[in-house]
Chains A and B, each alone.
Chain A
Amino acid sequence: MYKILKKKLLAEKIYEYVVEAPLIAKSCLPGQFIIVKMDEEGERIPLTICDYDRQNGTVTIVFQTVGASTLRMTELGEGDSFRDFVGPLGQPSELCREKNLDEIKKKKIVFIAGGVGTAPIYPQVKWLHEHSIESTVIMGSRNKELLFYTDKMEKVTEDLHITTDDGSFGFHGMGTDQLQALVDAGQKFDWCVAIGPMIMMKFVCLLTKKLEIHTVVSMNPIMVDGTGMCGACRLIVGGEVRFACVDGPEFDGHLVDFDLAMKRQSQYKTEEGRKTLAVQEGDTHHGGCGSCGGDK
């Protein structure tokens, strides 16, 4: 059992949980994910690690309630426990590896976070900051009310750009519009990390391909075991079958077949399965991409 030490509502339907998991806290790195199973009947839900405290042995996760399982998860509060909490799974971010430090220091890095994607972006920016590497961060949401982690992000980057789709706060537009604006203003980037809904990552990749900026995306396909056994999370990357749980979750965004990934993500889109699809999409499910049939 894995005790919930803190629970916080960050924005509408977006929750942050701090969980006691010393072994994971000791070995995890930004970019990796955990699988949480709340109780006997629960699903195994993959969630990207959003922060960790090696000394206190805690791991932080953030998710949005989008269906039956995530909604049920919010019934648990401080002092309760998750039945299972496994990880760290997947490969760490390429940017957050000590042995690559010299290479990484030469790069001009831009992060683009969409919606709940802000949460998994944060530990990467923080890790780089702690290693004296400064990066640019664009974080966007649909409106002001859905923004979160702005204070945390301000502490780890000096070049933070906030966007809202409706213009209620910061730059009026999408992350892609902001990136284009920065480039037009003369800023140069040679490494981009985009995390958010698949449709957003797809459009970031279309733009960065044009701008010739290497782009890494974090894929969150349907998973079951998450340890390299079931093959549910397969993607086509550069024309080959790759498994997000062991080969990813981060991939070269310019090689990912997003249209196929979005189609596969809609697999449980039936009248009775729509709710479940939303759960399986986890923190990348925002509605509006067309995959789920618009249950938003």
Chain B
Amino acid sequence: MDVLKRVPVAEQDPAKRAKNFEEVCLGYTEEEAVLEAERCLDCKNPRCVGGCPVSINIPAFIQEVKNRNFEKAYQIISESSTLPAVCGRVCPQETQCEGVCIRGIKGEPVSIGKLERFVADWARNHDIKPIAPSEKNGKKVAVIGAGPSGLTCAGDLAKKGYEVTIFEALHEAGGVLVYGIPEFRLPKDDVVKKEVENVMALGVKIEIDVVVGKTINVDELLNDMGFDAIFIGSGAGLPKFMGIPGEQSNGVFSANEFLTRNNLMKAFMDYDTPIWKGKKVVVVGGGNVAMDAARTALRLGGEVHVVYRRSMEELPARKEEVHHAEQEGIIFDLLQNPIEIFADEKGWVKSIKVIKMELGEPDESGRRRPVEIPDSEYEIDCDTVIMSLGTSPNPLISSTTDGLEVNRRGCIIAKEENGETSKRAVYAGGDAVTGAATVILAMGAGKAAAKGIDEFLNR
């Protein structure tokens, strides 16, 4: 075995998986995991831990995998992470822990994500759950939103003995893990549901169907319902659109709508909620959500084009997702930007007009700014357009909570180190604070806020 190369992981065949919703990556076997774990140098000064937003003791858990103490490995991860089976699947490890791995200097970094996933799956299959604290401290915390930041914050506080209740607006717990990320990347019943159950095993209560800001508000939670502190992890909000002519035509969807119908409402499983199955689909945007929408449309039977205004190098989606998308047959129309959508006489999308772009000087984000090439417009025939351009914050909580400050974009203002907001006893984190970001960053914010709330309540 070449020690510079990682142990490859089994995946479903691209041609086969392009037609089903089963998981793409099949994960390591025990033997493969042990072999990969042996590649870890167990550095004295492990840079990977610093690269992890929730600071998992990575070398320690990998050593346990090497010694086949999988249960111990799970306990080490659980000290820092509430959702390891999720993170092992959806974290951008290549820019975090694996991005700074010493092994990566000469060869391929240790496959930390796949090892984390292996350990979490092994624990689940052996029915090992995190242990609830034996003593409660008598203090109550309300968490708003059962997504990655809320679940993490709730789990950490429960471990410290707090009585935690999560209020979730939708009919399932999980947030973006259930409405956004598709089944083929993150199985719902086998993985997400089990991780949520693990959080509940720590003593956390989850109340679904409660929209904070509508059903009850933040002040009621604090003043009437006896909560000592609150964490707001309400997630991202309304989808953005381009504002180009024809965008309101039938067959133009936001990625949020398309994915929610498919994932949360389980349209692909023939539940009652309908989904439009386009034959030729154009997805506009280049983030992870765009990849998820594109690969979902493909599985529903469409030919799918991703239209993105910069080049492959600037594409913000994870490399692994782009690679999988290409393997499955997604067509990337790069350096192009939509300028108009045309509809037929019945109001349905029939084509999208795009203009070719070239890259100019870097803009404030550090990426090279795309510039239109004059007279390069052309039309792409399609019956569906999915806009994946990010979201703007949901106003439900900020507009109904006195004294909670938001920035000019409408995001809640919270301190990065402890989640503290402008309102006493109210903490916040995740997409509600940062705007659309990643699962692991939201988890990191939930973790920091749990620490902040613990300090506040022990002052």
User: A and B: partners?
Assistant: yes
Binding site for B on A (CB under 8 A): 23-24, 27, 37, 40-44, 68-69, 72, 83-89, 224-225, 227-232, 234, 236, 241, 243, 246, 260, 263-264, 266-268, 273, 276, 279-280
The reply to whether A267 and B248 contact each other, CB–CB distance below 8 Å, is no
Supposing A44-B265, A84-B209, A89-B214 touch, asked if A230 and B260 sit within 8 A by C-beta, the answer is yes
Partner of A83, one of B171, B243, B248: B171
**In angstroms, how far is the closest chain A Cβ from the Cβ of B227?**
15
Inter-chain contacts of B214 with A (CB < 8 A): 27, 87-89
Inter-chain contacts of B216 with A (CB < 8 A): 23, 27
**In angstroms, how far is the closest chain A Cβ from the Cβ of B15?**
27
**In angstroms, how far is the closest chain A Cβ from the Cβ of B250?**
5
The reply to whether A224 and B261 contact each other, CB–CB distance below 8 Å, is yes
A279 to B272, CA, bound (A): 10
Would you call B274 an interface residue if the criterion is a C-beta within 8 Å of the partner chain's C-beta atoms? Answer: yes
The reply to whether A24 and B395 contact each other, CB–CB distance below 8 Å, is no
26 pairs of residues in contact across A and B, judged by CB atoms under 8 Å:
A23-B210, A40-B271, A42-B271, A44-B273, A85-B209, A86-B171, A86-B215, A88-B215, A224-B257, A229-B179, A229-B237, A229-B256, A229-B260, A230-B239, A230-B254, A231-B257, A232-B254, A241-B241, A241-B243, A246-B238, A260-B248, A266-B347, A267-B250, A267-B251, A267-B276, A280-B274
A263 to B260, CA, bound (A): 22
**In angstroms, how far is the closest chain A Cβ from the Cβ of B409?**
15
Q: Give how many B residues have a beta carbon under 8 Å from the other chain's beta carbons.
A: 40
Inter-chain contacts of A234 with B (CB < 8 A): 241, 248
A-B contact count (CB 8 A): 116
The reply to whether B208 and A84 contact each other, CB–CB distance below 8 Å, is yes
**In angstroms, how far is the closest chain A Cβ from the Cβ of B269?**
8
Supposing A84-B171, A246-B394 touch, asked if A229 and B238 sit within 8 A by C-beta, the answer is yes
The reply to whether B265 and A264 contact each other, CB–CB distance below 8 Å, is no
Which chain B residue lies CB-closest to A23? B215
The reply to whether B272 and A264 contact each other, CB–CB distance below 8 Å, is no
Per-residue CB contact flags for chain B residues 221-255 toward chain A (1 = under 8 Å, else 0) read 00000000000000111110101000010110110
Chain B interface, DSSP helix/strand/loop, else mixed? loop
Would you call B380 an interface residue if the criterion is a C-beta within 8 Å of the partner chain's C-beta atoms? Answer: no
Inter-chain contacts of A280 with B (CB < 8 A): 274
Would you call B200 an interface residue if the criterion is a C-beta within 8 Å of the partner chain's C-beta atoms? Answer: no
The reply to whether A230 and B257 contact each other, CB–CB distance below 8 Å, is yes
Which chain A residue lies CB-closest to B258? A230
The reply to whether B395 and A246 contact each other, CB–CB distance below 8 Å, is yes
The reply to whether A225 and B170 contact each other, CB–CB distance below 8 Å, is yes
**In angstroms, how far is the closest chain A Cβ from the Cβ of B226?**
16
A113 to B244, CA, bound (A): 36
The reply to whether A225 and B276 contact each other, CB–CB distance below 8 Å, is no
A69 to B257, CA, bound (A): 19
Inter-chain contacts of B394 with A (CB < 8 A): 227-229, 246
Inter-chain contacts of B209 with A (CB < 8 A): 84-86
**In angstroms, how far is the closest chain A Cβ from the Cβ of B156?**
26
Partner of A228, one of B215, B237, B261, B272: B237
Would you call B211 an interface residue if the criterion is a C-beta within 8 Å of the partner chain's C-beta atoms? Answer: yes
Which chain B residue lies CB-closest to A273? B274
Inter-chain contacts of B238 with A (CB < 8 A): 228-229, 231, 243, 246
Which chain B residue lies CB-closest to A233? B257
Supposing A229-B179, A232-B257 touch, asked if A224 and B250 sit within 8 A by C-beta, the answer is no
Inter-chain contacts of B215 with A (CB < 8 A): 23-24, 27, 86-88
**In angstroms, how far is the closest chain B Cβ from the Cβ of A10?**
24
Inter-chain contacts of A263 with B (CB < 8 A): 250, 346-347
A136 to B10, CA, bound (A): 70
Inter-chain contacts of B58 with A (CB < 8 A): none
Inter-chain contacts of B271 with A (CB < 8 A): 40-43
A32 to B408, CA, bound (A): 28
The reply to whether B239 and A231 contact each other, CB–CB distance below 8 Å, is yes
**In angstroms, how far is the closest chain A Cβ from the Cβ of B108?**
38
The reply to whether B265 and A43 contact each other, CB–CB distance below 8 Å, is yes
A138 to B347, CA, bound (A): 34
A260 to B247, CA, bound (A): 11
A241 to B396, CA, bound (A): 18
Would you call B169 an interface residue if the criterion is a C-beta within 8 Å of the partner chain's C-beta atoms? Answer: yes
The reply to whether A86 and B254 contact each other, CB–CB distance below 8 Å, is no
Which chain B residue lies CB-closest to A266? B250
Inter-chain contacts of A260 with B (CB < 8 A): 248
A237 to B355, CA, bound (A): 29
Which chain B residue lies CB-closest to A38? B272
Most A C-beta atoms less than 10 A away, residue of B241, B250, B276, B394:
B250
A267 to B384, CA, bound (A): 12
Most A C-beta atoms less than 10 A away, residue of B169, B248, B260, B274:
B274
**In angstroms, how far is the closest chain B Cβ from the Cβ of A44?**
7
**In angstroms, how far is the closest chain A Cβ from the Cβ of B162?**
23
Nearest first, the 5 closest Cβ-Cβ pairs linking A and B are: A231-B254, A231-B239, A230-B257, A263-B347, A84-B171
A230 to B236, CA, bound (A): 10
Inter-chain contacts of B210 with A (CB < 8 A): 23, 86
The reply to whether A264 and B260 contact each other, CB–CB distance below 8 Å, is no
A44 to B267, CA, bound (A): 12
Which chain A residue lies CB-closest to B237? A228
**In angstroms, how far is the closest chain A Cβ from the Cβ of B321?**
22
